[in-house]
Amino acid sequence: MSAHETRRPRAALSPEPLWRHVVGDVLRRRRRAQSRTLQDVADVAGISMPYLSEVERGRKEASSEMLAAVAGALGLGLIDVLALAQGELARAAQVRRPVSVTAAVSARGAGAAPGRGTMCLAA
């Protein structure tokens, strides 16, 4: 590309959500579904209410110990938070990338050579 040529703008994809945003949303939805306050959950978890608020808003990346404490206060285990967050990430990936990764992985797992599996496209 010469110095006088301009680059064509790429089609903008929405960025993948960050882990801290997804986990924060999961925790907030669960807390609200239980009609509990930030202060109540923070007290049970043994953390400060402002810190829990920042985790829920995706502004802080909580340690595994903190996530376990908050999950426990909400009646969840870490595996539950992970599964709920994975579901959110999978839905976001489908919006960004209409190729069914599951179909491609399943085809490879069934003995097909890499790159020769079937792909399903979303309409």
Is 5 part of a structural domain of the chain? no
Task: Tell me how far the alpha carbon of residue 115 is from its chain's centroid.
Answer: 27
Q: What is the pLDDT of residue 96?
A: 67
Is 26 part of a structural domain of the chain? yes
Model confidence over 78-92: pLDDT tens digits? 999 999 999 999 988
**HSE-up of 52 (CA within 13 Å, CB side)?**
24
Q: What is the pLDDT of residue 95?
A: 75
Q: Which amino acid is at 38?
A: L
Is 88 part of a structural domain of the chain? yes
Which structural domain, as residue segments, surrounds residue 47?
A: 19-96
Give the pLDDT mean for 34-57: 98
Model confidence over 69-81: pLDDT tens digits? 999 999 999 999 9
